Each structure stands twice: as structure tokens, then as C-alpha cells.
Amino acid sequence: MNAFEDNISHPADVLAWYLAAGVDEAVGEEPLNRYDLIKEAQAKRDAQAQAMLKEAQTQHDEQTTKAAAKPAGGPIPVRPADVGIGDEALKSAVELASEAKNLDELREALEGFDGCSLKKTAMNLVFGDGNPEAKVVLIGEAPGADEDRQGLPFVGASGQLLDKMLGSIGLDRSSVFISNTVFWRPPGNRTPNSGEIAVCLPFVERMIELIDPAILITVGGPATHSLLAQKGSVSRLRGRWFSFETPKMSHPIDATAIYHPAYLLRTPAQKRQAWGDLLGIKAKLAEHT
């Protein structure tokens, strides 16, 4: 026996000795290059990220292609037949909307309209809020839980930020009218799909025709894509002016896109750009007074 063996009284002492010497991992019979393992894991994560990006890009392209399919004579950018909305529902939406002679009649028409499946799961119709003679109309994405409960658009956290944004350029709900691309809350606050947006679009367009504002502001992606018939992200489209017109309107109106306040709550770094856009809106409004 040597001096080391003399001191070992139990196998656990051997392990303790290894541990003290920095040997804390069992090794196999074959040598293993752990740098290769790290590289393999990284490559796997890269491949997964690429696949997710590709899927998101395909979904985005499908949506924006539909949004860009603007037929001659009107700004209907989504084709309901492509997204499973029956002809009957769309025909009925167009008829009901065009018959409305004022916002009260339009609201009544929507109350009696069963062509949008979102109605089945929502508590309330969220028609709109503000001044029916406003110079500025804002169209957001879709009502959320607070809006569904109260039957009013933009009353939750993002609504409070929207009010502040409007306030910064001297506007409030007595000087604007606010609504959404769809009039009922999508379950779980998901983004409304193209079919839901398409079947509500005749009502949104009629709302804009009846109010006849000087400026239309689309708030976030879905409203921007469906009403302005533009592809791409709001970050690319904001700060620019487009024209919005329906066959029933006597003249086009100035339209622009802004970041959705929910996005700004998540990404406060973009607030600087958003406030710049608001100043652009203020200047445009001054041209109309």
C-alpha cells in the first residue's frame, strides 16, 4: 500500500478526492469533443429560428398579398372568397352598410348583422366613439377585453396611451371618431383574420363615408393593410401620406398610418417616431382649416 491508499477508508473518499482535484464529470470510453457538441446545438437552434422566420414570412406574405389585391373602383383589398366568407354574408354587409344614412342607422345595421362569426363570442358590439362630424377618423385593429365589456373602442391600456397621443396635438374624443377594422372582440384577443376584416370592411368604409373626415389615420398593421391597401410593416409605411377613397366619396381624403399604442407600450423606444408622426398629422390638419 502507498501513502494515498493508506488514507482511503471508503469509496466515497475516492470520489471526494477526485472532486477536490477538479474531476467532477464521468467520462466515457471514447473521447468526446465538447466543442463539437456546442456547435451542433447552435446549428440546431439556428435551423429552428430559420424555419420559424420562414413560416412567419409566408404567413405575412399571404396576408399582405390579399391586402394588396385592390380591385378597380374601390379599396376592398381582401378577397372574402379566398378566406372562407360566404358571398351571402358579404352581399348582406354591402347592402346593409350602403343603406345606412347616418351613424345611428349604421350601428342598427351592425346590430342586426350576423355575417361576422366574431359576434357569437363577443359580449358587445363595439361600434365607435367620438364626434360623428369629426375631421379625423382613426381605425384601430379590434376591440379587446375592456372594449368588449364597455362596448367602446380604445378604453383599455392602449386606449389611454392613444388618448395621450391625441392630446399631445390638441385632439380628444370630441374632435375625432375612433373605431376598428372589426366590431367585435376576437376570442383571446387574437388578430382578426382576413375574412373577418373583409366582412366588416363595408361597414368601416360606410362609417368613413358618412363622417367624411379630412384625415383618416390607420392605427397598426391590420387597419393599414386593409384600408390603405399597402403591403409591409407599419414601420415602413408610417410618416407617409396616402389617399383613401370609395366609389361613393366625392373626393379622396388624406390618410396615414401610425404605430399601434399597444406596440408602443411594448416598444417605448419607438415613441419618438410616433410623436414625430403626430406632429405631421397636426401639420396636415392645419392645411385643412
Binding residues vs ligand URA (CB under 6 A): 140-144, 147, 153-154, 156, 158-159, 180, 262
C-alpha 14/C-alpha 7 separation (Å) is 10
Shortest Å, Cβ 179 to ligand URA: 8
d(CA 234, CA 224): 7
Cβ proximity to ligand URA: between 85 and 182 the closer is: 182
Pairing of strands 253-258, 215-219: parallel
Q: Is 227:138 a contact under the CB 8 Å cutoff?
A: no
Given the complex with ligand URA, which of 127 and 242 has the nearer CB atom?
A: 127
Characterize 156-195 residue by residue with b for buried, 16 or more Cβ atoms within 10 angstroms of its Cβ, and e for exposed.
bebbebbbebbeebebebeebbbbbbbbbbbeeeebbbbb
Rounded to a whole number of angstroms, the minimum distance from the CB of residue 162 to ligand URA is 8
Cβ atoms of residues 208 and 137 within 8 Å: yes
**141 or 254: CB nearest ligand URA:** 141
CA angle at 129 for the pair 127 and 133, rounded to the nearest 5°: 110
User: Residue 183 or 242: which CB sits closer to ligand URA?
Assistant: 183
Least distance between ligand URA and beta carbon 230 (Å): 18
Q: What is the distance between the alpha carbons of residues 44 and 197, in angstroms, rounded to a whole number?
A: 38
User: Which of 92, 147 has the CB closer to ligand URA?
Assistant: 147
The distance of closest approach from Cβ of residue 177 to ligand URA in the complex, given in angstroms and rounded to an integer, is 13
Q: How far is the CB of 221 from ligand URA (least distance, A)?
A: 10
In whole angstroms, what is the distance from residue 66 CA to residue 101 CA?
Answer: 30
What is the length of the chain? 289
Q: How far is the CB of 156 from ligand URA (least distance, A)?
A: 6
Question: Which residue of the chain is nearest ligand URA when measured via CB?
Answer: 140
Decide whether 92 or 200 has the Cβ nearer to ligand URA: 200
- CA 257 vs. chain centroid, Å, equals 12
